Structure 1
């Protein structure tokens, strides 16, 4: 919006008071324009000073992997051919065609120095499986590196070099204050072309690709193969991301790149540097994000939180958390969704006693949980459900689901522990809401309305209870191959 200001120039020179007011007005206008300019910062005139400042801390990484030769490579020569003896002699002498010697495979990537004594951050996939790692510095010298530790979950690795002199390094900035539209600069070794920079803006925050601890900054700064492990700088020369991945149909930059946020990376590097491994907090529950229909079925006021689907042996079971609880707050921090809770728990100190607020039976409850260590948690292997649907007992159709009570035979076929009550799903109407929400033959419904069910009549009763309570959906706890999740299905009027 443009504002017009009328200034009475005509009589300004005739009055001292007018002159003072005029000068004050001009000053106010200048301050206003300066403020507007500061709020809407334009593109930097040049990135040269920033590049000069941080370049000495950015490195190129070359890895060497010894690939064992194949021992069964045999030339395709017909038996009795005049070439048969020639090829046999050639291979016996260790000729190239025999693949008798191991070969060296090289790969390139990027990284950056985070301390004057030679700790370097890069991506795990840059150095994974490497037998030798060499670091090339901007000034031109090369040093061998040793691996300190890796974290495949965030694709971060820490290396160490030994230098006779202190190395120039960069520091991590606060990625949480980065905003969409902020200028950023990427630096690294794209496509093996050597030290190179590219600039762009923060396109989006909080992107997740496929990891439980993902917190990526999306940027349109050009990132290509070879940039992996390199830094993403803010305009203060601080690292706010580690360039990790691109979205591209052709393998080259199309302006959609992802950098792991520095607030994730800095915690990981601190642990790798100190312990050589990560030490993440472990709550010990299986969870899912609360959806709108699940919130309605449970009587939640807001569509937020993490819904507990199972509580195996561990910290949460010891503290009294239960399946069906919705975690609203963890360690005095609001829980928005399941992914956010996983990241927050992972960033919390192992062994810390934290306050957990849950929604249970229509009201909130606070429990204290002492966190375990995720890396030490035992993985429980669940049996795989049989593909074939059982053939016998009587079945009932509800919500588009054909169900029958669990028998010992069904429990064995579906991998359900003995003594478990519930309904086995025999078939699902593909036109039903249940099908669209992922229910399939072989699933087992063990709860409805957060109460255990053993028959189709129990399921009908829980649906009627939900209808009488004024709800539009009934909440089901469904297990598939042992893995639980909650599904809310709409209640049809009679």
Structure 2
């Protein structure tokens, strides 16, 4: 391996091919100047009229029509419940199926992503399954096999032996905006697919449900109603494109209480491609130990901005090390995608494969 260093005005760029090739731009980290205080200026607060009516050009029917036939019901039969089995949406098996003494019956939803039978769902929906039965929106049932799973992202890829199936195409979760309308589509009751609408409430949410040092939690938060059995279902935009896989709800009762969380589709696409091509996840790493910046840490380290991710250590010999990233640097963006906190940074890096080239923007005193 060799290192290439090029000089630019006010910046240093280093490159090295070790897992990820790390580029970085160094900016002077200076406190922002404060605007002068102007006294005795009183402005009248403008009146703002609010409306809870949908914009007249908002139409969910096209997206719903595209989605309902591509979302399936998944029933799993598990002989012995594994210790790590935790269906975040709970189970309605007692309500719908009853439960034999010798087996656990659980279920969720899934999304058809190809005409030849590939279906993506949550790992916790099929974890430990001895048998998987998929029911389509037209009541057709088929057995499915697990192609691969990713516990660190709570995703799984299964397949049925079929062709010419309705399926959803990928959107781009990086382009999503808070306040954007979305639909949550699932098949929780093994009847037909259900559709609810809401808006994106937040992005890059880390809700600490997966555990483990390698877990990637960078969820899309929405207020679309999602209930038990919708786990693994689709989050789609108004064009009917898949933008996320529903994974969890924030609830004290197990039922919907206002917020749900979906795995961004750009991460889903990366995981699915890895499982199809390799049978396992190909994870990329910058080669740094990092942490969030909160108010206390910023005060302790004399930092002037809470945005970004603090580099606590650089792994010797890693791509980050050979590119020149140092302890104390603050990573602010990856390939011009802002990384305001740890969850956002991990979500971005999770979309890359070993050997990919990335440009890391950072601040350094």
TM-score (norm 1): 0.53
**Equivalent in the alignment of 1:108:** 107
Give the structure, 1 or 2, with the largest relative contact order (CA under 8 Å, sep 6 or more).
Answer: 2
> What is the deviation of 1:172?
1.6
Counterpart contact for 1:148–1:273, Cα < 8 Å: yes
**Equivalent in the alignment of 1:310:** 313
> What is the deviation of 1:344?
2.6
**Equivalent in the alignment of 2:132:** 133
| Correspondence for 1:51 among 56, 64, 67 | 64
Structure 1 SS opposite 2:228 = coil
> What is the deviation of 1:51?
3.2
Q: Distance in 2 between matches of 1:299 and 1:117?
A: 56
> What is the deviation of 1:136?
0.9
Q: Distance in 2 between matches of 1:251 and 1:348?
A: 34
**Equivalent in the alignment of 2:341:** 337
For the structure 1 residues 102 and 333, does the alpha-carbon distance in structure 2 shift closer, same or farther, using more than 3 Å as the test? closer
**Equivalent in the alignment of 2:55:** 41
Q: Name the larger-Rg structure.
A: 1
Q: Distance in 2 between matches of 1:44 and 1:304?
A: 34
Structure 2 SS opposite 1:282 = coil
Deviation string, structure 1 residues 192-247 (Cα, Å, up to 9, x no partner): 35323232211412122125532322222221111100112222111122111111
| Correspondence for 1:252 among 232, 255, 270 | 255
Q: Where do residues 76-475 of structure 1 align in structure 2 (5 Å cutoff)?
A: 103-163=102-162, 165-190=163-188, 192-206=189-203, 207-210=205-208, 212-292=215-295, 294-295=297-298, 302-315=305-318, 316-331=320-335, 333-356=337-360, 358-360=362-364, 362=365
> What is the deviation of 1:166?
1.6
Counterpart contact for 1:174–1:240, Cα < 8 Å: yes
> What is the deviation of 1:131?
0.8
For the structure 1 residues 161 and 54, does the alpha-carbon distance in structure 2 shift closer, same or farther, using more than 3 Å as the test? same
Counterpart contact for 1:213–1:342, Cα < 8 Å: yes
Counterpart contact for 1:331–1:354, Cα < 8 Å: yes
TM-score (norm 2): 0.70
Q: Distance in 2 between matches of 1:340 and 1:184?
A: 21
Counterpart contact for 1:179–1:202, Cα < 8 Å: no
Counterpart contact for 1:310–1:322, Cα < 8 Å: yes
> What is the deviation of 1:48?
5.0
| Correspondence for 1:64 among 55, 77, 98 | 77
> What is the deviation of 1:347?
2.2
For the structure 1 residues 54 and 189, does the alpha-carbon distance in structure 2 shift closer, same or farther, using more than 3 Å as the test? closer
For the structure 1 residues 283 and 105, does the alpha-carbon distance in structure 2 shift closer, same or farther, using more than 3 Å as the test? same
Deviation string, structure 1 residues 436-464 (Cα, Å, up to 9, x no partner): xxxxxxxxxxxxxxxxxxxxxxxxxxxxx
Q: Distance in 2 between matches of 1:309 and 1:48?
A: 49
> What is the deviation of 1:137?
1.1
The gaps in structure 1 that reach 5 residues or longer are: 1-39, 69-100, 363-494
Counterpart contact for 2:68–2:194, Cα < 8 Å: no
Counterpart contact for 2:73–2:107, Cα < 8 Å: yes
The structure whose residues are more often helix, as a share, is 1
Q: Distance in 2 between matches of 1:43 and 1:200?
A: 15
Structure 1 SS opposite 2:306 = coil
Structure 1 SS opposite 2:69 = helix
Structure 1 SS opposite 2:307 = coil
**Equivalent in the alignment of 2:34:** none
Counterpart contact for 1:63–1:106, Cα < 8 Å: yes
**Equivalent in the alignment of 1:491:** none
Structure 2 SS opposite 1:103 = coil
> What is the deviation of 1:105?
2.1
Counterpart contact for 1:198–1:221, Cα < 8 Å: no
Q: Distance in 1 between matches of 2:167 and 2:355?
A: 33
**Equivalent in the alignment of 1:419:** none
Aligned-pair RMSD on alpha carbons? 3.0
Q: Distance in 2 between matches of 1:302 and 1:310?
A: 20
Structure 2 SS opposite 1:67 = coil
